[in-house]
Amino acid sequence: MTAAQVDQLAPYEDELLREIARVASRVSHHELVRYQLGLEVAGFAGAGTRTPLRGGCVCLAVADGLGVRRAQAMPVAVAVELLHSVALIAADLHLDRDERNDRAALARVRGVALTLNTLDGMFSLAQVVLARLPEAGVAPEVAAACLRRFDASCLAACEGLPAYGTAPELTLDYAAAFGAPLAAGVASTALIAGADERCVDALASYGGALGALNALPSESSGFAVNAPDLAAAAVASLDGSGLDDASRSRLAAIARYLAGGAA
């Protein structure tokens, strides 16, 4: 892994973190949202172990490659992170987990009822953020198409979860459930850029593979798929995107970075 690969996502993280914190402050249960995301919150032991914001940062990197303005790209990146956390909360409840990212799972800290309220609140907050895309100059019909993409991703994420209390089969389908929000986010970014259908579909495949790849370290090391294969699938999908060589090279480097430089 080169220094250049390490730096691909880092420049976006602080900016995205600030925007997520600002958006989360709008809701009454913001301290639970902040805890789930691993932000520092008074009264929560170990809350400073922050979840890396890889998915949202990938969306911002794709937006830069497509020439999408930050004001239009940021809501999509925020929605990706909120809905990724929704999937993680659901998985923790399904599997009755005690911990998430080296700290107690939210249900262990505040109980199942408040955890479900937080899940619903994060989903609703993501919807509100996306519904306001026209305020940033996105055409209403494009904003509606983005919302449909994210709604479908949430359905895919829910369908990919195992039955309550049962261990998941660590397959690509399970990983893809966690990749669905990022697939929707990258595709939505392409829609906002006015990309053609071929590019949108190719970037959706890229985002889905990276989203699945992003799930591997947080869910288990025992998946029946591996990081290099997912990264290779992400890189291969870029061939059909119609992006210029420099943009494809940069996005390929991100895929390899997320795979630990192994791909």
Tens of pLDDT, residue by residue, the chain (263 residues): 444 445 578 889 889 988 998 898 877 778 888 888 877 655 555 444 556 788 999 999 999 999 999 999 999 999 999 998 888 888 788 778 888 777 888 889 889 998 888 888 899 999 999 999 999 999 999 999 999 999 988 877 766 665 554 555 555 566 667 788 999 999 999 999 999 999 999 999 999 989 888 766 555 544 556 788 888 999 999 998 888 899 999 999 999 888 874 33
Question: What does the pLDDT read at residue 41?
Answer: 56
pLDDT of residue 29: 78
pLDDT of residue 28: 75
Q: Is 263 among the domain residues?
A: no
| Predicted local confidence at residue 251, as pLDDT | 93
What distance in Å separates the CA atoms of residue 100 and residue 109, rounded to the nearest whole number?
11
Measuring CA to CA, how many Å separate 245 from each of 49, 51, 185, 242? Answer: 37, 32, 22, 9
Q: What pLDDT does 144 receive? A: 97
Does the residue 235 lie in any domain? yes
Taking each helix axis from N to C end, the angle separating 54-66 and 70-94, rounded to the nearest 10 degrees, works out to 150
The number of distinct structural domains making up the chain is 1
What's the CA gap between 227 and 114, in Å, rounded?
Answer: 34
The per-residue pLDDT for 9 is: 85
For residue 80, being part of any structural domain is answered with: yes
Contact present, 89 and 36 (Cβ < 8 Å) = yes
pTM recorded for the entire structure: 0.87
Residue 99 lies in a domain: yes
Q: What is the pLDDT of residue 37?
A: 80
Query: Residue 225 carries which DSSP code?
Result: S
In a domain, 15, yes or no: yes
Residue 90 has what pLDDT? 82
What integer pLDDT is reported at residue 175 of this predicted model?
A: 66
CATH number at residue 165: 1.10.600.10
In a domain, 171, yes or no: yes
Q: Is residue 85 part of a domain?
A: yes
Assess if residue 227 is contained within a domain: yes
Contact yes or no for 189/68 (Cβ under 8 A): yes
| Residue ranges making up the domain that contains 40 | 3-258
